[in-house]
Amino acid sequence: MSTFGKLFRVTTYGESHCKSVGCIVDGVPPGMSLTEEDLQPQLTRRRPGQSKLSTPRDEKDRVEIQSGTEFGKTLGTPIAMIVKNEDHRPHDYSEMDKYPRPSHADFTYSEKYGIKASSGGGRASARETIGRVAAGGIAEKFLKQVSDVEIVAFVTQIGNVKMNRDPFDPNFQHILNTITRAKVDAMGFIRCPDASVAGDMVKEIEHYRGQQDSIGGVVTCVVRNLPTGLGEPCFDKLEALLAHAMLSIPASKGFEIGSGFVGVSVPGSKHNDMFYYDEESKRLRTKTNNSGGIQGGISNGENIYFSVPFKSVATISQEQHTCTYDGNDGTLAAKGRHDPAVTPRAIPIVEAMTALVLADALLIQKSRDYARSITH
């Protein structure tokens, strides 16, 4: 489906090469200040054509609010937002119409619907994520206003080049405590805060681009200042909702939170996050954060941090021996404009989906808190 969330609900629309993409956001509290200027920065960070390392497709991705606000204030009614596709070239895909592109969604969409978008990836294209990023901007503003929540994502790996993200290393935990979007963007398009490896990441992408190929990577995200108590027992655990959100992003291939896979080799006596009473914040805290800020599926007030791997882009310009929809052998050399690595551009998408999950969870918990208050 194209709708995400329960109380803070987002429905996205649009294909890669249609006239526009966008979304409708329902459940936004009334009276909150909101203009296009609040949302544009993240869309600008996501847009194509930012660097020679990304697709040359030239889209400004200017967002327009169509409804749900008046005089810069939210009305509590559905907010519709639109971004026009200005540099779409459906003719670039005419020769690929008879080939299902390897590892793309062409074949599966055709099997599911009996018809597919003839240009680009249709709804499987990253253009669809524009609506998510626009909606995520609203969610972020709400979270910032209510609890000063900070969400920062950054690149930690491109191909075989990686920065330290050892959850047990104090240096990595320091990065999680101090990283800002300004620091991430200061590293240019690569968006890796570790200057010692950022240059090698650029070279890695340039290497595969030169071979008309692509390469994958990993995005790590941290959430700070999130209230305790968010998330539901069993099926809607906060980490399960975050995993659902991250795996819905095009090209994502996994989800790892807290100590993740590394934690399986650490005994419980060393892995357990011991509690202490923090006099400054006047609440229980944990000395370590191997849980990644979530215990029993519910936020505990510590930093939430997780990583998401993104595969190498499926559409490449190399000739690939494959077959047509009717089963005849053939050679496909994709045309069009494509990223040699999507990982750096995924940063605002990861942040947006995180914000959507947390805004929804916060509204659900506030509803529970209010219900509890009127029954006592």
DSSP tag of 19: S
Collect all residues with Cβ–Cβ distance below 8 Å to 11 and sequence separation of at least 6. Answer: 2, 3, 4, 23, 24, 26
Residue 148 annotated to the active site? no
The number of residues in the chain equals: 376
Two tokens at 101?
């592109």
Going from the C-alpha of 277 to that of each of 181, 284, 286, 302, the distances in angstroms are 31, 5, 8, 13
Strands 20-26 and 9-13: antiparallel
Q: How far apart are the first and last CA of the chain?
A: 39
Q: CA angle, 275 as apex, 273 and 277 as ends, to 5°?
A: 150
Which residue is catalytic, options 61, 88, 104, 194? 104
143 three-state secondary structure? helix
What's the burial of 38, exposed, middle or buried (CB within 10 Å: 0-12/13-18/19+)?
middle
Residue 104 annotated to the active site? yes
Distance CA 301, CA 288 (A): 12
Which residue is catalytic, options 61, 106, 273, 339? 339
Distance CA 206, CA 51 (A): 12
Centroid of chain to Cα 16:
18
Angle at which helices 129-147 and 347-373 cross, to 10°: 50
Residue 339 annotated to the active site? yes
Collect all residues with Cβ–Cβ distance below 8 Å to 160 and sequence separation of at least 6. Answer: 204
Catalytic residues, by residue number, are 17, 104, 339
